A and B are shown apart, each in its own frame.
Chain A
Amino acid sequence: MRIVVAMSGGVDSSVAAALLRDEGHDVVGLSMQLYDQGEQADGRPAFGSCCTIDDLHDARRVATVLEIPHYIVNFERQFNEHVVAPFVEDYVSARTPIPCVRCNSQLKFSHLLERAQGFDAAAVATGHYARVEKTQDGRYALKRGRDTEKDQSYFLFMLSQTQLASASFPLGELSKHEVRRYATERKLPVADKPDSHEICFVPDNDYAAFVERRAPDAMRPGPITDNDGHVLGQHDGVHRFTVGQRKGLGISGPIPLYVVGMDARSHTVTVGPRAALYRTTLSASDVNWIAGYPPSGPCAVQAQIRHRHEASPARLSPHGPDAATVVFDEPQPAISPGQAVVFYDGDEVVGGGWIDGNRDS
């Protein structure tokens, strides 16, 4: 069976390719060129450290070791349209985005999958720590990776049944340790390459500067207020803030203050004590149900509101085909509009959506 592996040049996707190759599949490596590798006027990189020329070369070197064909496909336009532009727009709209979700659902398992089907590949494989399993009723279940520390199912909640049917996650049953060991044993040239943790296309992890380069209008100053509307200070633009943020507020008080909310219309950043971050209820839109349809009624789930958040017991109420309300059993800190909420039933992803707002119920 021919399988296309999306190869980033990192150790995970390299091992994914190696595993499939060693299982005897006809493996074709594809690497996506996502942005112009050029520099800004001052000579600093305009984009971040992942998928650079060096990474693409690493992917090529791995492919050479594995003796598989490897190609670099140009997705600059698609990446900009589906990932970078919404990312900037989210920050400008006082939301905190996670671009990886759209990159998975709208690039890797969409445009890249379409290319792969063009040369008869049955599936696209990635180096995600997640599992996809066919259920008895013929549907596909998306599950957490066995290595719960590395689990990346949170980033895959937007995948449809059709996409899952063509998805392969060879690392789903492995731990990161096992993956590194396999890479070493297989003598992959990226065996010791460090993991990347930041948003791949933002250089130096400086979101604010990136957003300002792309959307100079974002730099609109506004007030920093407390919950009662008292102005405590000024800021340079709501895109510089994230709910839960403590540093960089430029105001001092008797108790530590956190960003508890932003309003893009009035350009206001609201701050409050740590206790003010906790909320029980969130509303989500653009919800994707992994099964293809929403649960028949309210149900108990574990809901996860950030990649690094421990899924917490909650009551999920679907509204119509793609909206939902989540009420946590216990208040949760820093529920950030723009982030994703993903609903789990144990290991299994029920669905997920984008957080629109939070409140106390």
Chain B
Amino acid sequence: MKIYLDHNATTPVAPEVADIVTRHLREEFGNASSVHSFGQTAKAAVDEARAAVADLIDAGPQEIVFTGGGTESDNLAIRGVAEAIRTSGRRQLIASAIEHEAVLHTFKALAKLGWTTTELRVDHTGIVTPEALEACITDETALVSVMHANNEVGTVQPVATLAEIAHRHGAVFHTDAVQSVGKIPVSVRDLGVDLLSLSGHKFNAPKGVGALWVRRGLRVVATLTGGKQERSRRAGTENVPGLAGLGCAARLAVERQRAESSRVGELRARLEAGILDSVTHTTLNGECRQRVPNTVNISFKGVEAETLLIALDLEGIAVSTGSACSSGSIEPSHVLRAMGLSPHRAQSSIRFSLGLGNTAAEIDHVLEVLPPVVDKLRGLSRAGANAGLRRAPAAQVAPR
């Protein structure tokens, strides 16, 4: 039995979505920009997807810019706004310290181009407080970017309040909602933001499709130039099969999100309580009430998370720790570090993220397998020995 508990990394494509994508791959191959009937069919599929995605986030279809995924959406939002207001005299960009690299590294690139970038600190629960934003925003701030839900600990940020503060100072507000769309209700009107990024493969659509919602009237300069697709905001022939899949996944999310979130939330609660009860020296990371329902991040004191991840994978259980770097090895999580966790604790933390298809039987199986694995690792590791958690006598592997 293989158990997948890494839905914040990516999700399985829903069968209904796979059917639509396959149909478009096999039967409908037109270019949505073509005048003839083949093109019209493709265009209709893209329009349908646009309406569905708009519906999912309480937006208008004409405000949706389809992209190649969350990273591209973040880039378009930040670079596009920066370029559009470059001459306005506003020179500061603000993002939280726990953003995805798609935001943080884009900020780094813009800093090299002369922008002033400011990192918003988070509190120890992984929440950006309004006070933190108040403390660094000025009337020179061009853009504030704070994610809706965090990928590693699942915390949901007070985006509406933060957006209001940004607007009071005349700044544009972007939120990376890649980890919240499909997991909790997301309304761009309620959030009061100007730009919102989403990614298809985080809610059962295929990889390589996403969208940026741009509030009507906000100017965003295209980062990809070429044809006039997406109202000239994103050039390039539309990925029609992928977008049809994205639309389908959006419709499914609208229909099922509430019920599915409560189902997944219960499983997550069962997993979380089970681990915290049965494994000693474990700590929950992140604010536990303001959180997407599918995510739980736990520190296992004295355990190297990297080893735990591998040990669990060899048992058929897929979890995650931090974010993988280019080679696939693990780097200490910048999110946990920003929350003030010690490097040791950050490196002993595991993220479980649940989703479509997970069952109570799977969770029970994990709760059976995990505790003895943790015990064994604590028995072996130096970290465990240092933390006084070693049970068995030390295995003599130390060099002379």
The interface of chain A, by Cβ under 8 A from chain B, is 28, 33, 37, 53, 56-57, 60, 69, 71-74, 105-106, 109-110, 113-115, 117-120, 158-160, 162-163, 166, 288, 322
List residues of chain B with CB under 8 Å of any chain A CB. Answer: 304, 306-308, 310-311, 313-314, 325-331, 376-377, 380-382, 395-400
A251 to B193, CA, bound (A): 72
Contact of B400 with A160 in the complex, beta carbons under 8 Å: yes
Answer whether A162 and B396 are a contact pair too, CB < 8 Å, given A56-B327, A73-B329, A114-B381: yes
B314→A73 contact, CB < 8 A = no
Query: How far, in whole Å, are A109 and B395 apart by their CA atoms in the complex?
Result: 13
B400 CB contact (under 8 Å) in A69, A71, A117, A288: A288
- Collect the chain A residues with CB atoms within 8 Å of residue B307's CB: 73, 115, 118-119
For A288, give the chain B residue with the smallest CB separation.
B400
Separation of A71 and B382 alpha carbons in the complex (Å): 21
State the total of A-B contacts with C-beta under 8 angstroms. Answer: 78
Chain B, residue nearest A53 (CB): B327
Which chain A positions have C-beta within 8 A of B397? 109-110, 113-114, 117, 162-163, 166
Please give, as numbers and ranges, the residues of chain B lying within 8 Å of A288 by CB-CB distance: 400
Which of the residues A33, A106, A118 comes within 8 Å of B380, measured between beta carbons?
A118
Which residues of B sit under 8 angstroms from A159, Cβ to Cβ?
A: 399
Bound together, the chains give a CA A160 to CA B396 distance in angstroms of: 10
User: Which 10 A-B residue pairs are closest in the complex by CB-CB distance?
Assistant: A33-B329, A74-B329, A72-B329, A119-B311, A162-B396, A118-B307, A105-B399, A72-B328, A56-B327, A118-B377
In the bound complex, residues from chain B placing their C-beta under 8 Å from that of A109 are: 397, 399
A292 CB to closest chain B CB, in angstroms?
9
B380: chain A residues within 8 A (beta carbon) = 114, 117-118
CA distance A113 to B10 in the complex (A): 31
Cα distance A211–B29 in the bound complex, in angstroms: 58
CB of B395 within 8 A of CB of A73, answer no
Q: Which residues of B contact A73 (CB under 8 A)?
A: 306-307, 310, 329-330
Q: Which of A28, A60, A72, A74 has the most CB of B within 10 A?
A: A74
Contacting residue for B399 out of A71, A120, A160, CB 8 A: A160
> Judging by beta carbons under 8 Å apart, are A72 and B327 in contact?
yes
In contact, A158 and B327 (Cβ under 8 angstroms): no
Min CB gap B246→A, angstroms: 30
Chain A nearest CB from B332 CB (Å) reads 9
Question: Contact between B314 and A56 (Cβ–Cβ < 8 Å)?
Answer: no
A sample of 6 more A-B contacts (CB under 8 A), given A72-B327, A162-B397, is A37-B326, A53-B326, A72-B328, A72-B329, A110-B398, A117-B380
Q: Min CB distance, A122 to chain B, in Å?
A: 12
Residues of the B chain whose Cβ atoms lie less than 8 Å from the Cβ of A57 = 327
Chain A contacts for B377, CB-based, 8 A: 118
Q: Which of A60, A69, A118 interacts with B376 by CB under 8 Å?
A: A118
Docked Cα-Cα span, A33 to B310, in Å, equals 15
Q: List 16 A-B contacts (CB under 8 A).
A: A28-B310, A53-B326, A69-B313, A73-B307, A73-B330, A74-B306, A74-B331, A106-B399, A110-B399, A114-B395, A117-B380, A117-B397, A118-B307, A119-B311, A162-B396, A163-B397
Nearest-Cβ distance from residue B236 to partner chain A, whole angstroms? 28
Query: Is A117 touching B328 in the complex (CB atoms < 8 A)?
Result: no
Q: Is the CB of A37 within 8 A of B327?
A: yes
* Distance between B164 CB and nearest chain A CB, rounded to angstroms: 39
Q: Does B313 contact A158, Cβ atoms closer than 8 Å? A: no
